[in-house]
Amino acid sequence: MIKMTSNSEHLKELLAEKGLKPTYQRLMILDYLQEHRKEHLTVEKIYTALSGEMPLLSMTTVYNALSSFLKAGLVSAITITGTEVRYDFLTEPHHHFLCRMCGRISDVDVQCPVAERKSMKGYLIEEVHGYFKGLCKECLKRQRKQQA
């Protein structure tokens, strides 16, 4: 039996609130996503991480769970790379930085004047995404060392 974090009761409520059945697999996936929210994981990464402990888990199950979380507004999908979807446990709207060298996606701590807006010029805003691309701190450091 895998032990879940003390958080699982809270996640159970969260799922129930959104009308989703709090199945064991959904709970484990949501819990993992929340624990690793800084990493902005792909379906594959989540599946690989959990499949060791959950032998009956399939990639489709992970994908379906994430789709239902997405529809319920529990997670957001980040498509910054253009080739893959990364999932983020949603707390509040925030922007992202993609490092073109190591592929790491980090949260960007900037106050965005439009992130909290719900409408603009008659349009209803449901999501706001801000994407920044470049080199992360670690890759910059590595590059500077190589050039020195």
Binding site for Zn ion (CB under 5 A): 88, 99, 101-102, 107, 136, 139
Give the nearest distance from C-beta 35 to Zn ion in angstroms.
14
How many Å apart are CA 99 and CA 96, to the nearest integer?
10
Q: Which lies closer to Zn ion via its Cβ, residue 62 or residue 98?
A: 98
Q: Which of 60, 57, 80, 78 is nearest to 68 (CA)?
A: 60
- Asked if residue 95 lies in contact with residue 78, where contact means CB atoms within 8 angstroms, the answer is no
Number of H helices, E strands in the chain: 5, 7
Give min distance, CB of 24 to Zn ion, in A: 26
- Nearer to Zn ion among residue 128 and residue 139 (C-beta): 139
Nearer of residues 72 and 107 to Zn ion, judged by Cβ: 107
CB of 98 to Zn ion, least distance (A): 9
Min dist CB 39 to Zn ion, Å, is: 9
Instruction: Name the DSSP class of 41.
Output: B
Please say which residue, 26 or 40, places its beta carbon nearer to Zn ion: 40
CB 105 within 8 A of CB 98: yes
